[in-house]
Amino acid sequence: MGYKTLCFGFSCVLLAYFVYSPVPENIEEPWKVRFMDALIKVTSLVATLFENIGLMKYEEVFLTASAIHLTKPISDENITVIDTNFSDIPVRLYLPKGTSEKQRSAIIFIHGGAFVLGSCKMSAYDDLNRWTANKLDAVVLGIDYRLAPQYQFPAALEDCVFVIKFFLQDKVLAEYGVDPSRICIMGDSSGGTLVATVTQLLQNDPEFKDRIKAQALIYPGLQSLDTFLPSHREYEHGPILPREMAIKLASLYVTEDKALPQAILRNEHMPPESRHLFKFVNWSDFLPEKYKKNHVYTEPILGNLNASYPALVDSRLSPLLVNDSQLQCLPLTYILTCEHDPIRDDSLIYITRLRNVGVRVTHDHIEEGIHGALSFTRAPVFLHLGLRIRDKYISWLEENL
């Protein structure tokens, strides 16, 4: 009885969100986006409820909802799919079956999920990587890095670095027939954060400099200093990525202490001595005029968080924090942004900063796009936008890798 009542209650809330939450006018497939948005908001509501009554932690509710989409390594007529470990870290490899005269290019894929959710084995990512391997006749390597809150900063990054350094060994590249001069690292959302950081670390490491030909970032998060950029303000309530939910999940990468997400929500989380870092993320300097609209720059309040988290001032969490001389040496870069995305401006700032120091950047902006669409190509919602993003990024790779 209690269970049925509960289900009925949730269905009513879902329906109410579905009917009443508005989605932007110019968005394509608006009913599907509305449904997905409602589903996410209800999950967040249920997660908050369950956490408050001590049934499950906030992130565990999301984890339960996303785990059902994991796939097995199934080879098909074109691609051999293998699950293995590199340096003790689980990876999934996609190897084209056909014989090739020359060595193949390789794409290293780092998935999104706010450092807390997701896997390269999720069906949408499995489809994407299989498609990429087939379309580009390339070797694709997905990394199943460790997730927060069990493994906190910099665990995810360390796993990615270990796997990539393992893969870049001559004997490993030779084993998979990979051309060492045609390797790209790619990732979406928090996977994009990891790509940006890994690329910076490798480029600034004499042993690995120029080993990566290109980086591709799909709506990445690139800083956590200022959470009140124009895009955070405009898309505070979503669609898809409400500011509060994003902050609650992503802050678990740093700590489980609830004081941190609360401070981040107020944009009062940075330590007192960190003012000099804000010049790297100052949207008033780096955002193109068009996106500033009539927003007024307000300086975040510093020193209101008692606990101290070194991660907050670390460029390995916020890749925008490096200086120009470290940006200068970055390889060919592809960045895709969606308009309806609270973390849109991280990318726009990075693009300005990269171009200012002469890095070659291709920028695709999807005016009617939403955050996360690349992973909405499987049940419960199939968005054509996901395939459009995939095709844009693949055609860039076709020309540039």
Ligand X SMILES: *[C@@H]1O[C@H](CO)[C@@H](O)[C@H](O)[C@H]1NC(C)=O
**Residue 204, exposed/middle/buried by CB under 10 A (0-12, 13-18, 19+)?**
middle
Distance between CA atoms of 194 and 186, rounded to whole angstroms? 9
Q: Decide if residue 289 touches ligand X (CB under 6 A).
A: no
Q: Name which of 5 and 294 has its Cβ closer to ligand X.
A: 294
**Whose CA is closest to 27, among 367, 341, 336?**
367
189 is annotated as an active-site residue: yes
First and final CA of the chain: distance in angstroms? Answer: 58
Binding segment toward ligand X, per CB under 6 A, in 94-102, 178-186, 244-252, 320-328? 320-328
Q: If DSSP codes are grouped into helix, strand and coil, which group holds residue 328?
A: coil
Q: Decide if residue 209 touches ligand X (CB under 6 A).
A: no
Q: Decide if residue 285 touches ligand X (CB under 6 A).
A: yes
- Tokens representing 191? 């996977």
Per-residue binding string, ligand X, 248-277, x by CB under 6 A, is -----------x---------------x--
Q: Decide if residue 278 touches ligand X (CB under 6 A).
A: yes
Binding segment toward ligand X, per CB under 6 A, in 14-22, 190-198, 246-254, 318-326? 318-326
Q: Decide if residue 151 touches ligand X (CB under 6 A).
A: no
Q: Name which of 84 and 169 has its Cβ closer to ligand X.
A: 84
Distance between CA atoms of 333 and 316, rounded to whole angstroms? 18
**Residues 89, 131, 174: CA angle, nearest 5 degrees:** 50
**Residue 306, exposed/middle/buried by CB under 10 A (0-12, 13-18, 19+)?**
exposed
Q: Decide if residue 205 touches ligand X (CB under 6 A).
A: no
357 in Cβ contact with 370 (< 8 Å): no
Q: 126, 341, 345, 346: which one is catalytic?
A: 341
Distance between CA atoms of 158 and 364, rounded to whole angstroms? 29
Distance between CA atoms of 193 and 237, rounded to whole angstroms? 22
Q: Name which of 76 and 367 has its Cβ closer to ligand X.
A: 76
Distance between CA atoms of 359 and 362, rounded to whole angstroms? 10
Select the residue interacting with ligand X from 21, 66, 78, 255 (CB under 6 A). Answer: 78
Q: Decide if residue 48 touches ligand X (CB under 6 A).
A: no
Distance between CA atoms of 67 and 86, rounded to whole angstroms? 23
Smallest gap from Cβ 347 to ligand X, in A, equals: 19
User: 278: part of which helix (H) or strand (E)?
Assistant: none
Q: Decide if residue 52 touches ligand X (CB under 6 A).
A: no
Distance between CA atoms of 369 and 343, rounded to whole angstroms? 13
Q: Which residues pair with 81 in a beta bridge?
A: 94
Q: Where are the beta strands (DSSP E) in 189-243?
A: 214-218
Q: Name which of 36 and 270 has its Cβ closer to ligand X.
A: 270
Per-residue binding string, ligand X, 105-134, x by CB under 6 A, is -----------------------------x
Q: 189, 231, 347, 375: which one is catalytic?
A: 189
Q: Decide if residue 90 touches ligand X (CB under 6 A).
A: yes
DSSP class of residue 186 equals E
**Residues 278, 282, 283: CA angle, nearest 5 degrees:** 155
341 is annotated as an active-site residue: yes
Q: Decide if residue 77 touches ligand X (CB under 6 A).
A: yes
Q: Name which of 78 and 362 has its Cβ closer to ligand X.
A: 78
- Tokens representing 140? 């694709």
Q: Name which of 279 and 360 has its Cβ closer to ligand X.
A: 279
Binding segment toward ligand X, per CB under 6 A, in 75-83, 239-247, 287-295, 369-377? 75-83
User: 89: part of which helix (H) or strand (E)?
Assistant: strand 89-96
Binding segment toward ligand X, per CB under 6 A, in 64-72, 77-85, 113-121, 379-387? 77-85
Q: Name which of 134 and 223 has its Cβ closer to ligand X.
A: 134
Q: Decide if residue 88 touches ligand X (CB under 6 A).
A: yes
User: 338: part of which helix (H) or strand (E)?
Assistant: strand 332-340
Q: Binding residues for ligand X, how many (CB under 6 A)?
A: 21
Residues 321-380 that bind ligand X (CB under 6 A): 323, 325-326
Could you list the active site residues?
189, 341, 371
Residue ranges that bind ligand X, judged by CB under 6 A? 76-78, 84-85, 88, 90, 134, 259, 275, 278-279, 282, 284-285, 297, 299, 306, 323, 325-326
